[in-house]
Amino acid sequence: MILAPLADRSSRANHTDSWRILKPEIKYDKCIRCMICWKFCPDNAFTVVSGEELESPNPRVAALEAPVIDYDYCKGCGICANECPEKCIEMGIETKMVI
C-alpha cells in the first residue's frame, strides 16, 4: 500500500481547552440570543441549542435558540465578550489546570 501524505481525521479529536487562560461565561439571564458571539467565534466553539433548555426571564427570548460555549474547544480569546451587545459574557480566570 502506497503511503501518500493525506490527512483525514477531524480536528475535533484535538481539544484546545488547555490554551485557555481566560474563560468566558454566558449570563443567560441577560442574553438576548442574538448569536453574535456564535457568529464571531474563530474557534467555532459554540453549539446552538434549543433555548427551552436554558432559563431566561423573558419567555419570548426563551423560545429562541441559544448559544452554548463548548469548553473543549474555546481558547478564551474573548472576542465573544468584546462583541456581545448586552455585555452578558464575562471573562473569568481559567482555574482548571491541564497537565
Site string for another protein, 51-70 (x = CB under 8 A): -------------xx----x
Rg (CA), the chain: 16
Closest CA to 56 of 88, 92, 91: 88
| Nearest CB to another protein, comparing residues 55 and 72 | 72
Single-letter amino acid, residue 70: D
| Nearest CB to another protein, comparing residues 12 and 55 | 12
Compute how many other C-beta atoms are within 10 angstroms of the C-beta atom of residue 53: 9
- The footprint of another protein on this chain (CB under 8 A) covers a number of residues equal to 41
Read off the C-alpha cell for 57.
Answer: 426571564
Residues of the shown chain interacting with another protein in the complex, contacts defined by CB under 8 A: 2-16, 19, 32-35, 39-40, 42-45, 48, 64-65, 70, 72-73, 75-79, 81-83, 91
